[in-house]
Copies of this chain bind each other. A is one copy, B any other.
Amino acid sequence: MAITVVGSVAYDSIETPAGRRERCLGGAATYFSLAASYFCDVRVIAVVGEDFGPEQEAVFKSHSIDTRGIEHTAGKSFFWEGSYLENLNEARTHNTELNVFASFEPKIPEAYRDSEFLFLANIDPVLQRRVREQMPGVKLVAGDTMNYWIKDHRPALLAVLKGLDVLLINDTEARMLAGESNLVKAARTVMSFGPRFLVVKHGEYGATLFHGSGPKGKSAERTFRAPALPLEEVVDPTGAGDSFAGGFFGYLASQKQLAPGTLRRAMFYGSVMGSFACERFGTERLQEISRAEIDERFNLFRELTHLD
């Protein structure tokens, strides 16, 4: 099975208590693709500038990620600069340069059209919708968004949510989108906008999957909570959420059926890939995980949460 993902491929300059890196390869689509590539075929739609060369291309290629949908254009790639010096859970943005992303018009290569899975990473909901409409045959669509689109582009975002099967956002975003502080009620409201499944990411506390709406007071029967790994050192949390999405959706795409147990294991694989992403700067760790390490960490998550 193959996932087509649309989103940013970018350069990030990052400062954390562990150090600083200049212009490392980043972007939501990059993190997502690398994480998902351990589970299934991945095809990327993005736009990059002249600063994206064979070295960056090779990162994708070495994971058999299809880059025919990465458009090369004049100018510079999307650039983000941020730090986590005070709070590892929340980035402080110092600079965002859209560059070639400002006029991004996603084009879907013919070879991508038989993808059964589609991931709409965090970009302008107008673009998310345009891609969604061009892929009418997909079996499962998941997506991400952020506070900026929730606050200032609500109608466009609501149009996207109608066509989503799975939405992956964080606590603050879920509460903001629903206009409701209680997470269970917020989840119900968000799911009424379209998604059958809602994954709310809690950073270092893990993530919760909401599916369907159980009878009042029985919400846990329709809920699954995956932990995050208590890490000795979070080197760089950039891309942890996108890596979670990649592990989660990549695992789903590798499975024949969307059974409840499949979703639960997907939540664990999401946490697994999110935890790897934090261990090194940028995508460094995601570039070189072995399948044995993934399985080992999956089992660690089981030990961390299971009674027996």
Contact with B along A233-275 (1 / 0, CB 8 A): 1100000000000000000000000000100110010000000
Stoichiometry, as copies per complex, reads 2
Contact yes or no, B306 A307, CB < 8 A: yes
> How many angstroms between the C-alpha atoms of A185 and B202 in the bound complex?
20
User: How many Å lie between the Cα of A216 and that of B308 in the bound state?
Assistant: 24
The chain B residue sitting closest to A205, CB to CB, is B205
Docked-complex contact B302 and A307, CB < 8 angstroms: yes
Say whether A221 faces chain B, with CB atoms less than 8 Å apart: yes
Q: A180 → chain B, closest Cβ, in Å? A: 11
**A220 touching B230, Cβ below 8 Å:** yes
- Looking at the assembled complex, report how far the CB atom of A120 sits from the nearest CB atom of chain B, in whole angstroms: 26
In the assembled complex, A290 has its CB within 8 A of some CB on chain B: no
- The docked-state distance in angstroms from the alpha carbon of A185 to that of B232 is 6
Smallest distance from the beta carbon of A210 to chain B beta carbons, Å? Answer: 8
> Which residues of the partner chain B approach A204 to less than 8 Å between Cβ atoms?
183
- Could you name 19 residue pairs across A and B whose Cβ atoms are closer than 8 Å? A182-B231, A182-B232, A183-B204, A184-B230, A185-B232, A187-B230, A208-B230, A217-B232, A219-B232, A220-B301, A220-B304, A221-B300, A221-B303, A225-B227, A225-B304, A227-B305, A264-B306, A305-B305, A306-B307
